[in-house]
Amino acid sequence: MAIADVPLADTLARPLRDLRISVTDRCQFRCTYCMPREVFGRDFVFLPREQLLTFEELTRLARLFAGLGVRKLRLTGGEPLLRRDLDKLVAMLAGIGGIGDIALTTNGALLAGKAQALAAAGLRRVTVSLDSLDDAVFMALNDAGFPVARVWRPSPRPPMRGWRR
Ligand code: SF4
């Protein structure tokens, strides 16, 4: 059976509209429930770069899924903002006919420096995973000495034109 003949639906025949794309297996945090340092220590071997799908390959896959009815894409990792030039991938995905929404799930550590370029490329939504507003709890969980203030600061204004909280 060709892929175009396979209905993209779950077991209750509901259409599958969302596709999550993992762009890297790496992360700079070592959240105790996800990448505990005892397992993901200095010696842990992540995927070599040549085994990651290229932006062109990811775009080709997304286009195929769009042809099967996918309408929303979400970029994840690991930590997706560790993938260099992610805004270029967003721009490539934004050019796919039928894709109406591109979102990102991030730990937020690198977001401030990349948000402008990502928004300009076509990113529409961001989910920031922040486990606690308490510094001690947050740092204990991320196990990377990363304080809350480097991820989230209360602000009266939306972070970027076109984005809403
Ligand atoms: S930030 Fe996310 S991907 Fe990274 S270790 Fe924590 S839960 Fe896992």
DSSP codes, 46-108: PPPGGGSPPHHHHHHHHHHHHHTT--EEEEESS-GGGSTTHHHHHHHHHTSTT--EEEEEE-S
Band (pLDDT 50/70/90 cuts) for residue 153 is confident
67-115 pLDDT, tens digit per residue, is 999 999 999 999 999 999 999 999 999 999 999 999 999 999 999 999 9
Query: Which pair of structure tokens corresponds to residue 61?
Result: 């896959």
Which amino acid does the sequence have at 12? L
Please state the rounded mean pLDDT for residues 138-158: 84
Ligand 1 atom having least distance to the Cα of 34: 8
44-62 pLDDT, tens digit per residue, is 999 999 999 999 999 999 9
70: closest CA among 120, 145, 20, 2? 20
Query: Which pair of structure tokens corresponds to residue 81?
Result: 């903002």
Nearest CA to ligand 1 atom 1: 107
Which residue is listed with tokens 């990363």?
146
- Stretch among 93-97, 101-105, 120-124, 159-163 having the lowest mean pLDDT: 159-163
Ligand 1 atom having least distance to the Cα of 33: 7
Distance (Å, whole) CA 89 – CA 95:
10
Is residue 162 predicted with pLDDT exceeding 90?
no
Q: What percent of the chain has pLDDT over 70?
A: 88
SS3 for 149?
helix
SS3 for 128?
strand
Band (pLDDT 50/70/90 cuts) for residue 152 is confident
Ligand 1 centroid to Cα of residue 27, in Å, is 6
Ligand 1 atom having least distance to the Cα of 141: 6
Of the two residues 149 and 156, the one the predictor is more confident about is 149
For residue 77, the model assigns a pLDDT of 95
Q: What percent of the chain has pLDDT over 90?
A: 84
Ligand 1 centroid to Cα of residue 71, in Å, is 26
